[in-house]
């Protein structure tokens, strides 16, 4: 089993779930998931975790994301993008300067109401499933933050812009909110995610490219789990402590008195990454275990 994280370039027309399903076929394993949904019509960076890398999902999901979006003014749809049913159309009677100012005015913290066409759940039911049945429920506004907003091109009724946003922000909703502020409505025409945390679009691979590399036995594109904890000091234990580390037990190791009470990356005697430990006094206690025992293969890795 391959364990780590990959940077997938999701292509337009695919759901995030279908990307994961294809990855499961490519790698021949089920324990695979992504860290943040992209709409079917959107494209760009989709971070996918493999095997023990799935333990990183919560950490990776909280990073900021950068997008390039095209806003179409003068049109309001039920899905907040051009794939939906048109609800209202307006004449776009604003100047390019007014339109650009409206976009840039959303930089900073904002209160945003999540869209009905989303995977959020209310009373255990996905909003998108309710929306498809014609049911609309009240959603609470939540604070999101937009930063580094930049106008890339203006050719009304379209505006292409770049923005970095916090977790939980919806670009479709942002586009609609900008249209509402201008009084002419608006929806999202296209969306490209160019960055998620440390993962950039320039390093992303399509599923076909990933499939070809796996067939050739090239796994260099898989980011190892321990790379996400580079800020912590490395501690490698002697063979006599290997069994304790594999079981997640606390341990004490002489010669580490200079390590302050903080987290460390712990490796077995053979160099295999085991997990994150926290030093308290003279002992190290497990905080996050990543020792890999592949039960499907019946072997330790």
Same domain, 20 and 72: no
What is the pLDDT at residue 176?
97
Residue 261 lies in a domain: yes
Query: Of these residues, 39, 78, 81, 177, which one is catalytic?
Result: 39
Residue 221 maps to a domain: no
- CA dist 178 and 107 (Å) reads 11
CATH code where residue 244 lies: 2.30.130.10
Contacts of 258 (CB under 8 A, 6+ apart): none
pTM: 0.89
Domain CATH code at residue 22: 3.30.2350.10
Q: Are residues 108 and 167 in the same domain?
A: yes
Q: pLDDT value at position 5?
A: 98
User: Which is nearest to 265 in space by CA: 247, 281, 245, 282?
Assistant: 245
Residues 135 and 103 in one domain: yes
Query: What pLDDT, on the 0 to 100 scale, is given for residue 122?
Result: 80
* 123-154 per-residue burial string, b: 16 or more CB within 10 A, e: under 16: eeeebbebbeeeeeeeeeeeebbbeebeeeeb
Flag residues of the chain having pLDDT under 70.
255-261, 293-301
Task: Give me the pLDDT at residue 70, please.
Answer: 98
- Taking the C-alpha atoms of residue 240 and residue 254, their distance in angstroms, rounded to an integer, is 13
Q: What is the pLDDT of residue 203?
A: 97
**Does the annotation count 123 as an active-site position?**
no
- The first and second tokens of residue 256, run together, are 């580490």
């Amino acid at each position: 089993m391959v364990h780590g994280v990959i940077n997938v370039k999701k292509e337009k027309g695919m759901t995030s779930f279908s990307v994961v399903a294809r990855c499961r076929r490519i790698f021949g394993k089920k324990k695979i998931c992504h860290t943040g949904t992209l709409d079917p019509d959107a494209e760009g960076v989709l971070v996918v975790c493999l095997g023990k890398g799935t333990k990183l999902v919560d950490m990776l999901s909280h990073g900021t994301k950068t997008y390039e979006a095209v806003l179409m003014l003068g049109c309001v749809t039920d899905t907040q993008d051009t794939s939906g049913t048109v609800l209202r159309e307006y004449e776009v009677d604003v100047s390019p300067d007014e339109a650009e100012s409206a976009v840039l005015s959303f930089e900073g913290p904002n209160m945003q109401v999540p869209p009905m066409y989303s995977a959020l759940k209310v009373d255990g039911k996905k909003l998108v499933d309710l929306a498809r049945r014609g049911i609309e429920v009240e959603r609470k506004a939540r604070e999101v933050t937009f930063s580094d907003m930049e106008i890339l091109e203006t050719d009304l009724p379209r505006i292409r812009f770049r923005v970095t946003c916090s977790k939980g922000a919806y670009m479709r909703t942002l586009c609609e909110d900008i249209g509402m502020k201008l009084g002419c409505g608006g929806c999202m025409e296209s969306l490209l995610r160019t960055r998620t945390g440390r993962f950039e679009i320039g390093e992303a691979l399509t599923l076909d490219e990933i499939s070809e590399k796996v067939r050739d036995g090239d796994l260099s594109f898989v980011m190892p789990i321990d790379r996400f904890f580079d800020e912590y000091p490395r501690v490698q234990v002697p063979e006599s402590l290997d069994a304790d580390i594999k079981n997640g037990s606390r341990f004490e190791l002489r010669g580490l008195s200079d390590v302050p009470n903080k987290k460390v990356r712990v490796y077995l005697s053979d160099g295999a990454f085991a997990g994150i430990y926290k030093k308290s006094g003279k002992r190290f206690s497990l905080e996050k275990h990543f020792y890999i025992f592949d039960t499907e293969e019946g072997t330790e890795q």
